Structure 1
Amino acid sequence: MLRIGLTGGIGSGKSLVCDLFARRGVPVIDSDAIAREIVTPGSEIAEAVIREFGETYRDVTTGGLDRKALRRLVFGNIRARHRLEAILHPRIRLELSRRQIGLDAPYCILSIPLLIESGFGDLVDRILVVDCPESLQVQRVMSRDGVTQEEAQAILASQASREQRLAQADDVIDNTGPPGDLEDKVERLHRQYLVWGRTTHRKDPAPDLPES
């Protein structure tokens, strides 16, 4: 099965693009959903994170992780982020592979927001980047999450740059315009991925996408 790694910076529109593929019957495996599942209160991974960072990061209400406090820590501390990734990433990799077992489809989408940063590229056959200008990402994150411009920019700064993602991309969806513009772009790639998924031509050039 052809494995498409879908990625993009925060606010780029990854979730919407994933939804459009899912509506076409494409299996979508979401690494963010996996990350949330493996740190549910009382889970082995959640307790390992709390042992690593201390009881300060235990949510007194649920007994699980205080995700907001941990997020604030790792956004501003590269060393702490690497310590957290050392705990989470092996399990996330395992689940990304495990959830492909038994799928019956020409291709699947592996939604991995930090695909470039995490070194998960070996798990996919092609990289699809959902792209838009960073200024638009900031606006969307501020509107969606109710954060300040400085907070949104700090999140972007903790991720791979737009240039780094595009340099690794096999395919790109430009999400600069309104959501309705994505339908045709996803449909064209979907049709091509169906062809590639049924053949061995996985690294053929992607089709030209319509202009925004």
Structure 2
Amino acid sequence: MTNTPPTIIGLAGGIGSGKSTITKYFNEIGIQSVDADDVARLVVQPNSECLKSIHQRYGNDILLNDGTLNRKALREIIFEQPKERVWLEALTHPAIRKEVSAQLQTATSKYVLLVHPLLFETNQNALCKWVIVIDVPKEIQIQRTMSRDQISQENVEKILVTQLSNIERLKRADFVLENAGNIVDMNAKVLKLHQKILESLLC
């Protein structure tokens, strides 16, 4: 007899919203997670079919000296040429969805988080019983991303344009985590939400 996979709960938030930090807190209290960003890196590893296609399309400049993907170069291409972003998504999204699904099926915690910056945009919310949305002002997203990734405000804003606005995300939320200030108290917020989710699963 096989075990029934746990309930899938989405964790959505734009770039710089604090998804990784919040996911870590959930992991610490025993909740497993599948992060679409991690999977996106996995499907373009050296010798992967996705990376071979990317290399064939853009040439050697898209690779670093060790044969891995030059993410900075690719980012510049897709944000300067929107048609190339469409091509890239058509290539990688099916591979990402397949791997995400496989990882979700192996989870054993009471529920499993599907962490995705484009959860609604890619319709991955259809996999989820509920969705947690991280509420954070755009100005803070920009500041955090500039500091973390060492990129310009202009480039951050180009990324934000490809994502749903915070307002649109919140309209679709089942649960909301506010992450506008100091993250020291985030652990308590996560624990409170965790208990609420467990209670909801029993209903």
Do they fold alike, i.e. is TM over 0.5?
Answer: yes
- Does the Cα contact within 8 Å between 2:11 and 2:132 map onto a contact in 1? yes
Picking from 33, 38, 47, the partner of 1:28 is 33
Per-residue deviation, residues 167-195 of structure 1 (Å, max 9, x unmatched): 22111111011011212211111112223
Match of 1:138 in 2: 142
Match of 2:8 in 1: 3
- Shift of residue 3, structure 1, vs aligned partner: 0.8
Question: What is the RMSD computed on CA atoms of the aligned residues?
Answer: 1.7
- Does the Cα contact within 8 Å between 1:75 and 1:158 map onto a contact in 2? no
SS at match of 2:105: coil
Normalising by structure 1, what TM-score? Answer: 0.86
Per-residue deviation, residues 78-133 of structure 1 (Å, max 9, x unmatched): 32212111111111111111112232222011111111222212121111111211
The answer to whether 1:38 aligns with 2:38 is: no
Picking from 4, 19, 25, the partner of 2:24 is 19
SS at match of 1:99: helix
CA distance in 2, matches of 1:3, 1:13: 20
Runs (4+) of structure 1 exceeding 4 A deviation are none
Task: Give unpaired runs (5+ residues) of structure 2.
Answer: 1-5
- Does the Cα contact within 8 Å between 1:9 and 1:162 map onto a contact in 2? yes
Match of 2:173 in 1: 169
- Does the Cα contact within 8 Å between 1:42 and 1:64 map onto a contact in 2? no
Q: How many percent identity over aligned positions? A: 38
- Shift of residue 18, structure 1, vs aligned partner: 0.3
SS at match of 1:12: coil
CA distance in 2, matches of 1:137, 1:70: 22
- Does the Cα contact within 8 Å between 1:9 and 1:131 map onto a contact in 2? no
Task: Give unpaired runs (5+ residues) of structure 1.
Answer: 202-212
- Does the Cα contact within 8 Å between 2:14 and 2:163 map onto a contact in 1? yes
SS at match of 2:65: coil
- Shift of residue 60, structure 1, vs aligned partner: 4.9
SS at match of 2:104: coil
Matches within 5 A, 1:26-105: 26-51=31-56, 53-105=57-109
CA distance in 2, matches of 1:166, 1:50: 38
Instruction: Count how many residue pairs are aligned between Structure 1 and Structure 2.
Output: 198
Normalising by structure 2, what TM-score? Answer: 0.90
